Structure 1
C-alpha cells in the first residue's frame, strides 16, 4: 500500500471526529473557565523529581491549576521545595503546549474561531517568553541545558507540540501579524541555534549520535525547518550524520527494536521519527517508506509494538520505562493511531484501545486528541479485519523472544539480550508470563528517576523473574539464545548466560505447547555452594497450601560504590520479609521430588502453576515493593531457593486445571494433563528440551 497521505497532522472528518472535537472543546472550556491557560514566567525543571520520597509514586498534577507550591502524593503526603516546583512547571508548560495543539485541532475540525485565538495566544505568548528564560542555571551537570526546561531534550519535545499547533493554524489560513511573526522568528532562531549546538555536542564531541536525544533534536529542528519553509536544511537533516536516516540505522537494531532494549524508549524514538516524517511530507518527501542501512523502518518499529503487546494491548515495560502512566498512554495512542491510519497495522488496534482505557482510568475521560489529529477521529472506530492469532517471534539482535501457540491462552516473553546501557536492568533470562486476560508476571517497569528505588529495587535482579545468587544482582552482561524453534504445535527456546556471576552458568529452557508451558531453569556453579534464588513476581498472590513464617527476612544486597569499570565495592542490605512457606503435596516421584500446586486468578478462569520441590529446596512467599505505578502497595513474590552448586528449577503453567509433573530421571520429566495421555520431555545437551 502507499504510505503517502495528505495532512498527516490534521483534523479528522466524519461524525466520530465531530463528536471527539466537541469533547475536546468541552475540555478546553474547562481550562478557560479555570483561567489556567496562563504561561508561567519560570522555566521548568526535571519532571523525574515529581515523585513522593516516601511512597515513590508520581505526585498529582492538575492541568486546571494556574500555579502550585504544595504538591500532593496520591497517599496524602504534601511536598514543598524548588525541585518539586520545577518538576510541576515541566508538566504545566507541556500541558499548555498540548492545549495549544488541542485548540488548533478543535478549530480545524470546524469549531468556533475562538479556539484558533486560544491556540494563537499560547503560541505567540511562548514565543515572546522564550528569550526571557535563561539557559537553565539549575540543570544537573550531565544534562544538555534548555531554556524553558532543565533539559534540552524536554525542550525539544515541548517545541514540537507548539510548532505543530502553529503549522495546523497556518494550514487553516490563520494569519499572524508582523509583530507576532517577529516574535515567532526569534523563537525559531533561538530554538534552531540551541538544537543544532546540542546535536553537534552529541554527534561530534560525545560520539553518541545513536542517543534518543538526537532523534528529538532532529524532530525539533525538522519542525523549525517546516515552519520556516527550509526544504534544503530539512533534506540535509534527513541525509546527514546523525540525521533521520543515519539515526534510524544506528539507533534501531536490524530486528526493528530501539537499541536500548526499552519499550518506552522504542516508543519515544518512534514518536520523534514520525514527527520528522510529518514535517518532510510538507515538502513532498516520503519518509514513511524509508529504510535504514539494515532494513530498519517506521513500519517495522510499529509492527514490533503490535507484536510485543499482550492480548489486551498492554505493552511490556522492558528495561527502563513506566509500567503505566497517563502521558505515556498518550504517546502510545499517538503512534498507534498513525500505525493504523498510515500502514493499516491491524495489530495496533488493541494497543490503541488499551492506551485510551488507561487514559480514561487516569481521569482523562473521552478527550482523544490523538484520535482527532492522526486517526479516524474516534478511538471507538474499528479498523480493518479482526485480529488473527499471533505467532512466536525472535528479536535476535535485541535479545528478546516471544512464545505463542494457537489455542493456548498462555504466552511468554523472555529477555536475553544486551544490558541496555544507562536504561538497562540486571535481568538476563527474565520471563514474562502472559494470559489472554492479562499479564501475570510482568516486568514492573521503572519509577521516575528521582526516586531512590530506581537503584534499590526496580533495576535489580531480584525484582525480575529470573535467578539471583546470594541476594546479589547479576553483572551487567549479555546472554544468548542457543535454540529457537517455532512450529504450529510448540515453541522451544534455550537461553544461556555465563557472565551473570563468576563461575556460574545459567540455562533457561522454555517449551510452550497448546496445553502448557514448561520452564526448566538450570544453574551450575564452579565454586563453593551458594544460595541460588529463582524469582517469580505475579501481580496477584498465589493460592497455595502454606504455613506462616515469622521473623524471617530475605537479605537483598544492593550495590553501593563502584569502580570505574562498574564493579561494586560496597553493598547495602535491604531486608524483604518472608511471610509464608509453601507446602508441597506428599506425592513424590522416584527422585524424591514433591509437587507444589499454586493457582492465580485470570479473567473468568485461573492459571495453574506446578512446581517440583526437590530434596533441599524451599519455596517461600516474600513481601516485595509493588509495581512502579505504586511501589507502596506491596506484592507477594514466589521465591524457590536451594543451597548448593547446582539447581534444577522445574515449573509448569497451564490455563485451567494443573498439570501432573514427575521427574523421571535427571534429564526427563513427564507431564500429564487431566483426561489426556502422559507426555515425556527430555532435556538434551545438544538441543535443549525435546518433546515426545
Structure 2
C-alpha cells in the first residue's frame, strides 16, 4: 500500500462527519464535565490533555484548518484499520518493506490514539491496543537487527535512532488509551515491551544514548516520553541527565567520526539542549537536522510542561526552544526549503510534519507570535492537540501577520561565540554565508563558504549531502560513501582550497576543535549590507578573510553581490576557488580549450570526483562567465592575475553507481601564490521568455572590477559599471570597531570614513 501525505476528503463527507461530531459533543457536554473533573491527573496528559480534548470537541466544525486536518487523519487511519495489523520480522534498511511497515505502524498508532480521544470512538483504542499486543509478543523474541551497518543497531529497525522514533510516537498513543486499557494489559505492555524497549535504547546502547547529537536527542526523548506515561522516575532521570556509566571512554568515536563523550560534558536531554543550540536558536548540525531534531525537542518539552510544569522547560536557556523555531524558519528560502548547510537534503522544507508541530507548539507556548500563523496557513494543517487548536482559532480570528525573513546573523556554539551563519537578503536575493563551528559529525569542511538564491531557487549552490533518503536502491536509503569522499570535502563548496587538501585535512578531530570568527555583520543600510568573517585554522600558517557585500545601485533592477576572499600565508601555495553555478553557460570573456575527453581533476579530497572539461589561462584581465537559469541571466566577473588557470569543471568522476549529480563549476586556480585576493561580482541582470523568444538585459552590467589596494590593514575593490559609474568598496581588515575613523589614499584619491567599511562613488 502506498500512503500519501495528503488524502483528499469529499466535501460532503467532511461536513456530515464534523456535523455529527459537533452534535455528539453537545449531547455529552454534561457527562464530559463530570468525567473530566473526576479524572484530573489521569491520561492523556503528555501532548493531548483532558482539558484540551474538551476544548477541541467544543470547537469542532467551526475551525476550518483543524477540521480539515482531523478529517484527513481520520480517513488515513480508517484505511489502515481496514487493512489490518501487520508487524513483520525486521530485516530491511531504510526504504525497505519491513522498515516502512514498522514506521507506518507507529505513525498510525499515534494518530489513532488522538482520534480515540477527540472522537470518543473505541475502534481507535482497540486498534492501538491490538497493535501494542502484537508488538508485546514480537519484541521479546527479537535479536538485534540483522543489518550490521550502524554503530548502534536497533531491534525493530537497523539503527537505534529509528527504534527511538517508534517509542516517541508510541508513547503518545499509549498515553491516549492508558485509562481505557485494563490494568492487566498495561502491566503486560510495560513489562514485556516498554521497559525493555527503553532499557535497550539506553542501557543497552550507551554509545548511542550518552551523546550530544540528534540521534541521542531522539533516544533521550523516547525514554523520557514513555517514562512520563508510566510515571517512572528512574527512566525519566536517565532521559534528562544521561546514564551514569563508566562504559564510555573519553574520546570514544562513533562511525561518523564524532565524539560520543568529552570530559565534563553534560548529557541527556539537558546536554542536548545546552551544547548544540546557540543563544540565537541555531542548531550546530545545520537546518536539515535541526528540522529533524525539533520534533523530539518540542514534543518532550510540551509533555514536560503538561506533566511537570514546575520544570519551566520552555524558559530553559533563556527560552532557546522557542528561539530555535524562529531561527529554523529564517534558515529557509523564499519557498520554505531549508538551506542545505552541512549534511542537508535539498527540498526538505517547513511543510514537513515536524515543522508543523514546531510551529504549533512555538505559537502556543511562545506568546502567540502572529507571524507563525502565516506559516501555519501555508502549511495548511495543524497537529490535533491543544497547540493545533490554538493555531486554528488564531487563523479563524484573522490574527495572522506575515513572517518576515530579514537579513540575520545566527551565532553558533552553546555560548554564541563559535562563529555564525550570516544571511543577507535583498530584493528576492539571498546569500547564505557560513562561518560557523564544525557542526558535529554532520558538519562539512567548508569554512567561509556561501550559496546564492533568487526567488527560492539556487543560483550558486551548496551541494548538500550525498544520500537518497529512504530510497532503498541507493545504499539502503542511507549515507553513500560519496558523502565523505565528495560532499563533505572543501572542494565541493564555494570556498578556498589550498594545495588540493580539505580544511583541517578533512579530519573531524581537528575540525571540531576550531571555528571561524565573526568580524562584521552590518545590515543597517539595506542598500549596503556587509558580512565578513575570518578563518585562521583551516590551514596552519594561512589566514583567510571573506567579505560578502550586497550593493544596491538604483540604476539597475537588482542588487549585485561583491565577494572578496583575502588570503595571507607563511608559504607559497596553490589556491583553488570554485564557483558552483547552476544553469547553462551562455558566454565567457576568456578563451578556453574544451577537452575532447574530460580528465579527472585530482586523486583525493574530493578532486577525484571532478572532471576538468575545459581550461584557459588568464591574460590578467577580468574573467567573466555568463549563464542562463530558470529564465534568468546571471554573470560572475572575477579579477584575475596573469597566469591564473580558469577551469570549467563538472561533478561526477569516479562515480560508477551514478550517486552524484552531474553539475557544473567554474574554478580559478592561482599557483605559487603566498598572499592574494580573490574578488568577484555576481549579478542577476536579465530574463528570457521562451514564449516571446525575447532576451532582456542578457549581458553583465560590470564593465571592469579590480583589487586596487591590499595590505594587512585594508583591502579595496573598484567596480565600474556600464553606465560609467565607478565605486570603490574598502574594508578595514584589522579594526572592526563601528566608531573607528579611517583615512587611506588609493591611486591618488584620499578616502576618509567611519566604521569597518565604506562604499564611495569615484565619479
TM-score range, shorter chain: 0.7 to 0.9
Q: Please, what is the CA RMSD of the aligned residues?
A: 3.9
Q: Specify which of 498, 507, 510 is matched with residue 545 of structure 2.
A: 507
Larger Rg: 2
- Taking a change above 3 Å as real, the CA distance of residues 116 and 523 of structure 1, as seen in their structure-2 partners, is same
| 2:328 equivalent to 1:322 | no
CA distance in 2, matches of 1:202, 1:116: 33
Specify the SS of the correspondent of 2:680: strand
| 2:759 equivalent to 1:691 | yes
TM-score of the aligned structures, taking structure 2 as reference length: 0.70
* Structure 1 residue 125, shift from structure 2 partner: 2.0
2:75 maps to which residue?
26
1:642 maps to which residue?
670
Specify the SS of the correspondent of 1:523: strand
List alignment gaps of at least 5 residues for structure 1: 48-60, 62-86, 357-365, 560-571
1:402 maps to which residue?
422
CA distance in 1, matches of 2:363, 2:724: 42
* Structure 1 residue 90, shift from structure 2 partner: 2.6
Paired residues for 1:8-27 under 5 Å? 13=60, 14-27=63-76
Paired residues for 1:59-208 under 5 Å? 61=95, 88-110=97-119, 113-136=122-145, 139-140=148-149, 142-143=151-152, 145-170=153-178, 175-186=180-191, 187-197=193-203
Q: Specify which of 393, 397, 404 is matched with residue 409 of structure 2.
A: 393
2:708 maps to which residue?
665
Matched-pair contact (CA < 8 Å) for 2:336–2:349: no
Matched-pair contact (CA < 8 Å) for 2:341–2:462: yes
CA distance in 2, matches of 1:18, 1:325: 26
* Structure 1 residue 446, shift from structure 2 partner: 1.7
Structure with larger RCO (C-alpha < 8 A, sep 6+): 1
Specify the SS of the correspondent of 1:511: strand
| 2:459 equivalent to 1:440 | yes
* Structure 1 residue 149, shift from structure 2 partner: 2.8
Mean Cα deviation higher: 159-168 or 609-618 = 609-618
1:43 maps to which residue?
90
CA distance in 2, matches of 1:18, 1:638: 52
Matched-pair contact (CA < 8 Å) for 1:480–1:495: yes
Q: Specify which of 468, 474, 481 is matched with residue 518 of structure 2.
A: 481
* Structure 1 residue 304, shift from structure 2 partner: 1.3
* Structure 1 residue 230, shift from structure 2 partner: 4.1
* Structure 1 residue 452, shift from structure 2 partner: 1.5
Specify the SS of the correspondent of 1:142: coil
CA distance in 1, matches of 2:376, 2:680: 34
| 2:418 equivalent to 1:375 | no
CA distance in 2, matches of 1:296, 1:308: 19
Paired residues for 1:236-247 under 5 Å? 238=240, 242-247=267-272
Paired residues for 1:303-322 under 5 Å? 303-322=326-345
CA distance in 2, matches of 1:373, 1:607: 48
- Taking a change above 3 Å as real, the CA distance of residues 154 and 286 of structure 1, as seen in their structure-2 partners, is farther
2:293 maps to which residue?
269
Matched-pair contact (CA < 8 Å) for 1:234–1:280: no
2:224 maps to which residue?
222
1:339 maps to which residue?
362
2:486 maps to which residue?
457
Per-residue CA deviations over 1:215-261 (Å, capped at 9, x if unaligned) read: 22321122222221346864785478634444422342334333x43
Q: Specify which of 566, 579, 599 is matched with residue 522 of structure 1.
A: 566
1:359 maps to which residue?
none
CA distance in 2, matches of 1:91, 1:277: 27
1:57 maps to which residue?
none
1:79 maps to which residue?
none
Matched-pair contact (CA < 8 Å) for 1:517–1:652: yes
| 2:595 equivalent to 1:549 | yes
2:697 maps to which residue?
none
Specify the SS of the correspondent of 1:471: coil
Matched-pair contact (CA < 8 Å) for 2:447–2:535: yes
- Taking a change above 3 Å as real, the CA distance of residues 676 and 24 of structure 1, as seen in their structure-2 partners, is farther
Specify the SS of the correspondent of 1:331: helix
- Taking a change above 3 Å as real, the CA distance of residues 346 and 164 of structure 1, as seen in their structure-2 partners, is same
Q: Specify which of 472, 484, 492 is matched with residue 530 of structure 2.
A: 492
List alignment gaps of at least 5 residues for structure 2: 1-45, 243-265, 468-477, 505-510, 553-558, 687-699, 711-715, 736-755
2:14 maps to which residue?
none
- Taking a change above 3 Å as real, the CA distance of residues 224 and 387 of structure 1, as seen in their structure-2 partners, is closer
* Structure 1 residue 456, shift from structure 2 partner: 1.6
1:577 maps to which residue?
611
CA distance in 2, matches of 1:434, 1:44: 41
